[in-house]
Amino acid sequence: MKTLYSIPLVTPGSAESFPAVSLSGPLPDGEWSVRTYTLRGGLQEGVQVVEVHNGRLSFAVLPTRGMGIWKGRCGKVRLGWDSPVKDPVNPAFINEQDRGGLGWLKGFNEWFVRCGLNSMGAPGMDTVLDYSGNPYQVPLTLHGKIANVPARSVSVEVTEEGICVRGEVDETMMFGPALRLNTEIKTSFASGAVSVADTVTNLGDNPVEHQMLYHINYGAPLLEKGSRIVAPFKQVAPRDPRSVEGIATHDLYGASEIGFVEQAYLYELAGKRGSRETLAMLRNAAGDLAALLRFSLKDFPCFTLWKNTAGTADGYVTGLEPATNYPNVRRFEREQGRVITLAGGDSRSTYLTLETLETRQAVKSAESEIAKLQETAKGIVHPEPVSSLSGS
Amino acid sequence: MKTLYSIPLVTPGSAESFPAVSLSGPLPDGEWSVRTYTLRGGLQEGVQVVEVHNGRLSFAVLPTRGMGIWKGRCGKVRLGWDSPVKDPVNPAFINEQDRGGLGWLKGFNEWFVRCGLNSMGAPGMDTVLDYSGNPYQVPLTLHGKIANVPARSVSVEVTEEGICVRGEVDETMMFGPALRLNTEIKTSFASGAVSVADTVTNLGDNPVEHQMLYHINYGAPLLEKGSRIVAPFKQVAPRDPRSVEGIATHDLYGASEIGFVEQAYLYELAGKRGSRETLAMLRNAAGDLAALLRFSLKDFPCFTLWKNTAGTADGYVTGLEPATNYPNVRRFEREQGRVITLAGGDSRSTYLTLETLETRQAVKSAESEIAKLQETAKGIVHPEPVSSLSGS
Amino acid sequence: MKTLYSIPLVTPGSAESFPAVSLSGPLPDGEWSVRTYTLRGGLQEGVQVVEVHNGRLSFAVLPTRGMGIWKGRCGKVRLGWDSPVKDPVNPAFINEQDRGGLGWLKGFNEWFVRCGLNSMGAPGMDTVLDYSGNPYQVPLTLHGKIANVPARSVSVEVTEEGICVRGEVDETMMFGPALRLNTEIKTSFASGAVSVADTVTNLGDNPVEHQMLYHINYGAPLLEKGSRIVAPFKQVAPRDPRSVEGIATHDLYGASEIGFVEQAYLYELAGKRGSRETLAMLRNAAGDLAALLRFSLKDFPCFTLWKNTAGTADGYVTGLEPATNYPNVRRFEREQGRVITLAGGDSRSTYLTLETLETRQAVKSAESEIAKLQETAKGIVHPEPVSSLSGS
């Protein structure tokens, strides 16, 4: 696979500013392009953007926000949502401890956001060790740090096959977790899919806890009245009393409703034997458009569905959330045995594909694939929170 | 009114750096100018400045600090004060939770600072709703967020009449207040006045609380031994026991006094019938210089006078503070029924003029105008804090 | 002493970006150079660097991090250490309140870091005064603010004798401590030494507490199994129970050991009569390399040795820490009468030299000098924490 371009964008120790790159090339059926720039002014000051267009699918990676993906578009389908937070926010302006540990929500507007690396989920007190090895209580903030750490190394490569953006993000400190994320965000020319291959490494000598959740978010047009989640599951349970109210329609979305209070459903998905590969799909009401996630339960054993069909100004949005555990407070997840520990120097790699389906046939085909997996599982719908799944 | 120049300075989604604009033009009696630049180095790194000179009055707007006004000058009269904080501070370096919620004071050195938008006043615990609609307690920090949010949209317009700086500042988050400030800071050529027309909009679907206070601050030469506040009032009360000590001279200033502890007086002003327009003036001892505020009690029903005649190095300064409520903790203001609620999508517009009076005659004329309004009101001076006014 | 170059790098009120300066000149035995640049990308975005090479010794000053010294090199000897924090971190990304007040550790990777100016040491609650002069409790964070304040004024001067970097750093706020650091970091051509002359001024009118500790840190090659601290002392005590375990070898270092928990020893050093000059040396196992500190006990009456011979990935490092007091919580240090108070307008100047010794002879000579001072002192080794020294 011949490399056409290989361009460093951010380099540790460098005094070079993020470059304004503009590359493009012909495709049988259009043109690919890569464009990089730095946003200026307001809370977006200094936010670096890598815009990738593979000829069919386009998306914008944000190195400054932990290599999240701001927004995408596949043909006419917008991938992302409308947050009350209008611009990508430079982490320099984020205080995660704001509003009782909910400061993360002041920068939340991306299509694809990683939560982690040392903690994620609801804010809450947890016990950590100080520099003398003594336990003490600290307030963990919502969804951890990684979305608010700028990447220390970023590059883009264009090959004969497609485009790959690579990034390295350090969530480290002295006397605390020292975790490094290496990501490859890759797409083939003219494809409707983008893949995210992440490796998280414990740079330290001692074991450290690791949590990761991909917060993958959609508003219109994929989310609308009558949209559905289709995923093969062994069991699903509501997260809390509010979610109990909607368990009968856990897989179905309503119209935008001002004042709607979020609901969350915790799934144990079914996967293929051996590879444990699975898939989860958000399809529109007509069944001719869908977002499809493919991943292995080895990488992401827990899947959470976040339904926030609130008013459009407040954020009409749903989140599909493959993760190492459920987004409860870390203390609870630890008690349930769901928090991963990485030994000193150890790495953990994961792989996930985000696909856009633009035809009724493609949606049907995915539905069949899911139905086949569903046959291997009972599909239990718990009416109440289940302690082995939930934190309530 | 013909537009001579209309120049965008900050644009959402733009990769253009804040430009260095330098405009000027002749006036019958001098020259007007607009000059923009970005401060570099130290805590001022990246702070954008828009310097406006109307031929007589000059002032420097700080888009990076929520469209506050750093300092001004009218003829020979300095408008502003000397804070221990020497440079304008980029909000990236401010942690509002510092020093028990007083971090705002690490950036406080402007002539004109807005406090708000969702909360302002003394720091203190208050109840808010989380993403599930459940109430929880959070520590609100001194004077809220807006002074530490960089404007996402800024432009300057020069017409045949004068100069206008416009800005848009978003204090938004997911699952929390989403308030937008749009401001027009306007001055006519050769005028001693600048007006601030603000509109605050609730971008969200649900009702949200809104507080706003203009912290308008003066040191020498307007503040000196024998300076006075002149304002038509129905009643005034000391904020706290310390302020009780000075109630007899609530309208009179002393010389700079090292160790002086601040005093604050809460006024219910009298306004014109119908328009409820009022005015408040800080005049020097000789009565030949003054700063005059004009506003409507419909916009700013509460007026607080902050007297901090401390040592010159600690900040010899007084604040004239028109506001939606008194700067007590929000919980208390809510109990008193003084906290505004904006329904989803609703806006609230306000207007205020800052005038500099440079002659004995102009001061006398304003005093007459105030005296006339005072005739309509009893001017009660409460010796002790009054619960309907104060939070002590 | 003729000035060859005098170059302002950061100037208050200036719109000039930090310049990329590149100066050099011949020396009898090589070349001196000064190079300045701004790091870009990741957490290092915007960090200014002043690299000084005197022909023998080189070091990199970080104006953006309170004029600390990132790393140095003398001949073949690396001065500094390997932290899990890989890049110099812009303070805009540091939240000192992170992880229960340990956020300072997210930027900790320098050779020479100042801790202070208003507080330093372990995090803990303390009483301060609010704007009304009322006492309230605030959580002080680890090692204070100064390492995370960008310098507001920076310049470099090259004379016929050597190179001097000057900086001014303001740790100020309204209604709180207003302390200014002025530093001169100076080195003579072809010397193995660099001196740090600091003046801290209380810009305010009222007395303010002041603490300062120099956290001077070394990993390999100066730190290795068999390295030793050599310093003349009247008494030494372990800081805490963990340090009690190692008191018998307080002056001797072990090899890197994964899981090693830090130890700290609090020294009362002996100094010369009158000048109270003293010295403290870290020498390698062979005794042919050393780092030597020279300072006066008038400036830094307290000396702490931090031994953290942990795994190399976690940070194999020792800190030599001359200070105004021991790095216990400020409340405790105040009770012990060790916290300095600066009256309004007062200044305090200190002087310290960091020397690198590269020959057995130079090390021996320093050892003799220390031995001579040791003769004047008993060298008491306390087996347990001593309340007059420790905070446990």
Burial class (CB in 10 A: 0-12, 13-18, 19+), B27: middle
Q: B50: which chain C residues are within 8 Å (Cβ-Cβ)? A: none
For residue B190, the tally of other CB atoms under 10 A from its CB is: 15
> Is there a contact between A99 and B176 if contact means CB atoms under 8 Å apart?
yes
Q: Which residues in chain B touch residue C345, judged by CB atoms under 8 angstroms apart?
A: 313
Residue of C17, C81, C98 to mutate, interface with A, max A Cβ within 10 Å: C98
Distance from C-alpha of C100 to C-alpha of C103, rounded to nearest angstrom: 8
Q: Does A203 contact C84 at a Cβ distance shorter than 8 Å?
A: yes
In this prediction, residue B133 carries a pLDDT of 85
Question: Could you tell me the CA-to-CA distances from B137 to A100, B124, B127, B132, B134 in Å, in that order?
Answer: 7, 10, 5, 14, 10
- Closest by Cβ to C40, choosing from A17, A133, A138: A17
Q: Is B97 on the interface with A (CB under 8 A)?
A: yes
B42 vs C170: CB contact, 8 Å cut-off?
yes
Mean local confidence (pLDDT), A352-358: 98
Nearest by CB to B15, from A40, A85, A259: name it.
A40
CA distance C15 to C13: 7
pLDDT, tens digit only, all 392 positions of chain B: 799 999 999 999 999 999 999 999 999 999 999 999 999 999 999 999 999 999 999 999 999 999 999 999 999 999 999 999 999 999 999 999 999 999 999 999 999 999 999 999 999 999 998 888 889 999 999 999 999 999 999 999 999 999 999 999 999 999 999 999 999 999 999 999 999 999 999 999 999 999 999 999 999 999 999 999 999 999 999 999 999 999 999 999 999 999 999 999 999 999 999 999 999 999 999 999 999 999 999 999 999 999 999 999 999 999 999 999 999 999 999 999 999 999 999 999 999 999 999 999 999 999 999 999 999 999 999 999 998 775 33
**In this complex, do A311 and B206 lie within 8 Å of one another by their Cβ atoms?**
yes
Q: Rounded to whole angstroms, how far apart are CA atoms C263 and C259? A: 12
Q: Do A262 and B178 touch (CB under 8 A)?
A: no
CA nearest B16 in A: which residue?
A40
Interface test with C, best of B106, B115, B125 (most C CBs within 10 A): B106
Determine the residue of chain A that is closest to B173 in CA distance: A106
What mean pLDDT is reported for chain B? Answer: 97
Parallel/antiparallel/unpaired status of strands A179-188 and A193-202:
antiparallel
Q: What is the ipTM of this complex?
A: 0.96
Given an 8 Å threshold on Cβ–Cβ distance, is A99 in contact with B128? yes
The pair of structure tokens assigned to B243 is: 């302020």
Does residue C315 belong to the interface with chain A, where contact is any CB pair within 8 Å?
Answer: yes
Neighboring chain A residues of B132 at a CB cutoff of 8 Å? 240, 242, 261-262
Q: Is C2 on the interface with A (CB under 8 A)?
A: no
Does residue A100 sit at the B interface (CB-CB below 8 Å)? yes
**Contact status, residue A49 vs residue A39, Cβ threshold 8 Å:** yes
Extract the tokens encoding B157. 């317009």
CA distance C171 to B42: 11
Domains of chain C plus CATH, in order, are: 3-381 (2.70.98.10)
Residue range B73-110, pLDDT digits in tens = 999 999 999 999 999 999 999 999 999 999 999 999 99
pLDDT band at A1 (very low <50, low <70, confident <90, very high): confident
Predicted structure pTM score = 0.97
pLDDT of B182 reads 98
Chains B, C: CB contacts within 8 A come to 130
CB C227 within 8 A of CB C287: no
Per residue in A290-335, pLDDT (tens digit) is: 999 999 999 999 999 999 999 999 999 999 999 999 999 999 999 9
